[in-house]
Structures are given as C-alpha cells and as structure tokens.
Amino acid sequence: GENVEQHPSTLSVQEGDSAVIKCTYSDSASNYFPWYKQELGKGPQLIIDIRSNVGEKKDQRIAVTLNKTAKHFSLHITETQPEDSAVYFCAASGGSYIPTFGRGTSLIVHP
Amino acid sequence: GAGVSQSPSNKVTEKGKDVELRCDPISGHTALYWYRQSLGQGLEFLIYFQGNSAPDKSGLPSDRFSAERTGGSVSTLTIQRTQQEDSAVYLCASFLDANTGELFFGEGSRLTVL
C-alpha cells in the first residue's frame, strides 16, 4: 500500500518568514496530493491540492510543488502570519480514493 | 446540515465497555470515511463506504471495531470491549466525487478509555 512520509514534525518560524513542509510517497500510481490544515479542536480542512499532471500550483500565500520522478511534494507558505499556526497534513491517493496521510507538521508562527 | 456532524464530541468510558460514535455526512455525498487520530500520530484510515458497494474495511485494527452506514447516509462506528489503546480522536469525512477530491471532515469524537 501507499506510504507517506512528512517532515518536519515541528516547524517554528517568525511572522513574515516562509515555511516549507515536505512529503514523500511510495506508490507511483498515486495521482492526487492534497494538503489539509487542522486547527485546535477542529477537523482537517483542505487548503490546496495538486494532481499529477501539473508540477506547481499557487493560491495567494500558499503553493504546492510536485516532483513525480522523485515522488515528493512540498507545501510552501510565504509571509507567515500567527493565524497560520496549526497542524498541516499531506496526503496521497490514487484509484482507490482512500487518501494516505502523513503524520502531520505542527507549524508555530511567532508574532 | 452545512457540514459533517459527529457525536458525541467527547466520550469517556471504562475499559471493557462498548462505545458507539455517530457521523452525519453532508447531504448528497456518496462516500464516507472513518479515520483515527492518536496523539502525535497522523490520520489512520479505518473504513470507507461508497454508495451501495461493500465497504473497504482494510484499516480496521481488530475485530472489536465495526461500522455500518444506514440508508446511504448516517454512519455508526462501534468499538466493543474498549481498551486503553483505543483512546484517540475518531474523525469522519464525507466526499462528493473524484472530480473535486476533497474530503470534508467533522470535528471528531474524542474517546478516552480509562
């Protein structure tokens, strides 16, 4: 089955800095890579996703890049703000429609 | 409702008791998932329902765990003879279709087994 590794487990940055979270996957058949943000006491919420037919996608301050050859994808957050503090999960899925999630990254943005 | 609703939000039980967790998905969403989130862990897949097809139970950790989905809508996750290692947040998500790919999660049911 699919295996998703996510790093780092904790990331601490100063407000205004950039943050990068990286994930690798094992199953070359995976073709959909979403990123979810989970705030304290809430369920995860989709913030951005990318499909295997594109290499990069951007939405305001967040962007995701995908390298299919190396089987890794990354989340980039620029100009971080305190409200970006949360746990971020990457995931990968293919034809089974059952996403496999990484272990999560706790992002702390210091004002 | 507007989103995925889960109940109870918190459940404390004694080891050996049975518990039932309920999920009410977004109306019209044909697929429903259960995931488990343990402290410091990621989201562990438990079970997946899609329409009238047989559920994918490949993630259930033991035969103490079972789930059903009645009428293609509400789902109940049942844990029998609970153990301390069952303590976790149980998350339900619903899914519209492969075109969007997005899972809509509820806020979860936090289970504590004493």
Q: What is the pLDDT of residues B33-90, one digit of tens each?
A: 999 999 877 899 999 999 888 999 999 999 999 999 988 789 999 999 999 999 999 9
Using the beta-carbon criterion (under 8 Å), do A97 and B31 form an inter-chain contact?
yes
Q: For residue range A56-69, what is the model confidence (pLDDT) as tens digits?
A: 999 999 999 999 99
Q: Which long-range contacts (CB under 8 A, 24 or more apart) does A72-76 make?
A: A72/A22, A72/A23, A72/A24, A72/A25, A73/A22, A73/A23, A73/A25, A73/A33, A74/A20, A74/A21, A74/A22, A74/A23, A75/A20, A75/A21, A75/A23, A75/A35, A75/A48, A76/A18, A76/A19, A76/A20
What pLDDT score was predicted for residue B114? 96
Answer whether A44 sits within 8 Å of B98, measured CB to CB.
no
The alpha-carbon gap from A52 to the nearest alpha carbon of chain B, in Å, equals: 13
The closest CB to that of B42, out of A34, A93, A103, belongs to A103
Q: Does A65 touch chain B (CB under 8 A)?
A: no
Q: Averaged over A88-105, what is the pLDDT?
A: 92
State whether residue A97 sits within 8 Å of chain B by CB: yes
A47 to chain B, any CB pair closer than 8 A? The answer is no
Nearest CA in chain A to B49: A98
More confident position, B101 or A32: A32
How many CB pairs lie under 8 A apart between chains A and B? 54
**Contact criterion met (CB < 8 Å) for B106 and A97:** no
With bands split at pLDDT 50, 70 and 90, how would you rate the model's confidence at B113?
very high
pLDDT tens-digit map of A5-55: 999 999 999 999 999 999 999 999 999 999 999 999 999 999 999 998 889
B93 to chain A: which residues are within 8 Å by CB?
43
Q: Which residue has the higher pLDDT, A5 or A95?
A: A5
CA–CA distance, A59 with B56 (Å, rounded to integer)? 34
Q: Which pLDDT band holds residue B96 (cuts at 50, 70, 90)?
A: confident
C-alpha A74/C-alpha A29 separation (Å) is 18
- In this complex, is the C-beta atom of A54 within 8 Å of any C-beta atom belonging to chain B? no
Q: Does residue A76 or residue B99 have the better pLDDT? A: A76
Res A96: pLDDT: 77
Give the pLDDT band (50/70/90) at residue B98. Answer: low
Chain A residue nearest residue B48, CA to CA: A98
